[in-house]
Chains A and B, each alone.
Chain A
Amino acid sequence: MAMILQRFRAARAKDLFVQSAVLLFAGVAAIIVVIIGVYLFLESAPLLTGTGIPGFFLDRRWYPLEGEFGMAAMLAGTLSVTALAMLLAAPVGIAAAVFMRYYAPPAFASFYRRLLELLSGIPSVVFGFWGLIVLVPLIAKLDGPGASVLAGGLVLGLMILPLVSLSTDSSLAQVPRSHWLAGTALGLGRWAIVRKVMIPSAASGILAGMVLQTGRALGETMAVLMVTGNVVQLPASVFEPVRALTSNIALEMAYATGDHRTALFVSGLILLVMTAGLVAVAAVIQRRLKRYG
């Protein structure tokens, strides 16, 4: 009897030990993002004085060596390339998911899915490299220097496309099959069921996925850095080069010191806040629409 009790106690002690270890590690995982945020904030703090903050967003003069840290032009660069990429990737990505799930013969659907999965694993630096040596010269034949908003939007769009379509596909997969059957029983056509039943039922997931992919596009560095020309300016057309906020960090971090270095941390903080905001929006969408779905 005593021996059993002893073994029971030993097992309990082991349980407690393992539980604390597991929770400790989980705590580390949970706190990483907090540490990153706090760290960027502390590094940015010297330039985050009350009057300076609007300047980052409104001033487009980025002359870091003369102490001018306006980021409006680079913000415009980031937003224009992201917008173009999403304009391409969102409709084509949703169409791809609808095609795979409801229209394509099984062989085509599985080919398409594999192609998109393969594409989603290709490194961004490889997309950038291909854009640089293939797309940029092609665009240069049309107008401008080639390295441009258009090149950035196309490469980034192609990169985000598989992510959009795979996330849309998994949202559609969660719609109960009975919805489809009910639609068929009502004599609706294929497109009518897809448009009026399946897509609305999956809307929260699709939309939330789209918002998250926008964040991915916003934060992408390599592909954008390699094909947009990196000139700090407000683009007058899609054929003009721009510099994105992300590219700017990659280009200047190597030699930045003092306030210049601090300004790069500010731009990192801006990126972090924007992507965190998009995550929050995605979470709200998922919760709101689920309630009414």
Chain B
Amino acid sequence: MVKTVSSNSDGLVSLVLWGLFSLVTVVSLWMLGDILLLGLDHLSLDFVIGEPADAGRNGGIAPLIVSTLLVLAVCMAVVIPVGLATALAITEFLAPEGRWQATLLRSLDLLSAVPSIVFGLFGYAFFAIQLGLGFSILSGGLALACMALPLFVRITASALAMVPHSYRQAADALAISRVSWCARILLPQSSSGIAAATILSIGRSLAETAVLIFTAGYVMRMPDSLMDSGRTLAVHIYDLSMNVSGGDPAAGATSLVLVVILVVLNLITRKVLPDRTF
């Protein structure tokens, strides 16, 4: 007998898939809607530009926005040069499928799987204590850079790999030096991919909390320098909702601010890179 694959199950499967689609959509919109409503309840211009008061229950989040930007600046100041070099090493300087390339890729895979609290633990012990940087924006930014690096490298390397092979052949035919090839052709050609890598890494870093609690620390004051402790928006949400009774409204408003920033970044990525292949 020939085993037939019935097509009667098609209708049922379709029904189940539509059902799950509705469920996921409803739950997601429920959550996003809650964040929006909770946030709008407490959000105002004064909240965005004001100083926090009363452990964050009242007042605003201006110093936290500044701290967040400084942590991000430190993080990206490390991630972009190191990440670009690493991506170039993978695609240009190491033998394809060779031992060194494989080792580098495997090491980055491992790094991208390290739990964020472990980066926090390491950052605290290494940057804050061992190197004597203390609870500071610098410690936080460096620990965060370790976390964001593999994501940046992966996206950048695949952007570099997408530059047409014929360009390379043309460059070879013209005997262009490797540095000129990288600087004048390869990097400009993949600039939109590199921009996307940058924005996505910023998004991932903005969302991070566990890395920063024990590295950048908790202090809510406006930071004077990179050696000051500074609380980021994500850490603020955590602290308000867990450790401050009556902190929920402010936590909701901060969540909304953070989510809006992330959505905007997401939209920019889409603009920069309409065809998201990674």
Q: Is the CB of A125 within 8 A of B237?
A: yes
For B248, list chain A residues within 8 Å (CB). 133
Smallest CB-CB separation from A279: which chain B residue? B113
Within 8 A of A (CB), among B136-168: 146, 149, 153
Tell me whether A253 and B21 are in contact in the complex, defined as CB-CB below 8 angstroms, given that A14-B177, A219-B117, A268-B117 are known contacts: no
Within 8 A of B (CB), among A21-80: 21-26, 28-36, 39-40, 43
CB distance from B8 to the nearest CB of A (A): 8
For B38, list chain A residues within 8 Å (CB). 133
- Flag the segment in A91-99, A199-207, A233-241 that touches B: A91-99
- Flag the segment in B46-54, B56-64, B80-88, B187-195 that touches A: B80-88
Asked if B179 is at the interface (CB within 8 A of a chain A CB), the reply is: yes
For B238, list chain A residues within 8 Å (CB). 125, 128-129, 222, 226
Selected from B93, B110, B242, B252, the residue in CB contact (under 8 A) with A279 is B110
Tell me whether A25 and B213 are in contact in the complex, defined as CB-CB below 8 angstroms, given that A96-B24, A129-B252 are known contacts: no
Selected from B13, B24, B263, the residue in CB contact (under 8 A) with A161 is B24
Tell me whether A222 and B210 are in contact in the complex, defined as CB-CB below 8 angstroms, given that A22-B88, A265-B125, A271-B117 are known contacts: yes
For A271, list chain B residues within 8 Å (CB). 115, 117-118
A11 to B24 alpha-carbon distance, docked (Å): 57
Q: Is the CB of A14 within 8 A of B179?
A: yes
Asked if B259 is at the interface (CB within 8 A of a chain A CB), the reply is: yes
For B258, list chain A residues within 8 Å (CB). 123, 126
A103 to B16 alpha-carbon distance, docked (Å): 11
Q: Is the CB of B6 within 8 A of A25?
A: no
Asked if B114 is at the interface (CB within 8 A of a chain A CB), the reply is: yes
Smallest CB-CB separation from B200: which chain A residue? A121
Smallest CB-CB separation from B122: which chain A residue? A36
For B245, list chain A residues within 8 Å (CB). none
Q: Is the CB of A28 within 8 A of B82?
A: yes
The size bracket of the interface on B is: 35 or more
Within 8 A of A (CB), among B1-57: 5-7, 9-10, 13-14, 16-18, 20-21, 23-25, 27-28, 31-32, 34-35, 38
Asked if B251 is at the interface (CB within 8 A of a chain A CB), the reply is: yes
* Interface residue SS majority, chain B: helix
A99 to B25 alpha-carbon distance, docked (Å): 13
A119 to B207 alpha-carbon distance, docked (Å): 12
CB distance from B206 to the nearest CB of A (A): 7
Within 8 A of B (CB), among A111-131: 112, 115, 117-119, 121-130
Smallest CB-CB separation from A22: which chain B residue? B85
Asked if B268 is at the interface (CB within 8 A of a chain A CB), the reply is: no
Please give the residue numbers on chain B whose beta carbons come within 8 Å of chain A beta carbons, in ascending order.
Answer: 5-7, 9-10, 13-14, 16-18, 20-21, 23-25, 27-28, 31-32, 34-35, 38, 81-83, 85-86, 88-90, 92-94, 103-104, 106-111, 113-122, 124-126, 146, 149, 153, 177-180, 182, 203, 206-210, 213-214, 234-235, 237-238, 241-242, 248, 251-252, 255, 258-259, 262-263, 265-266
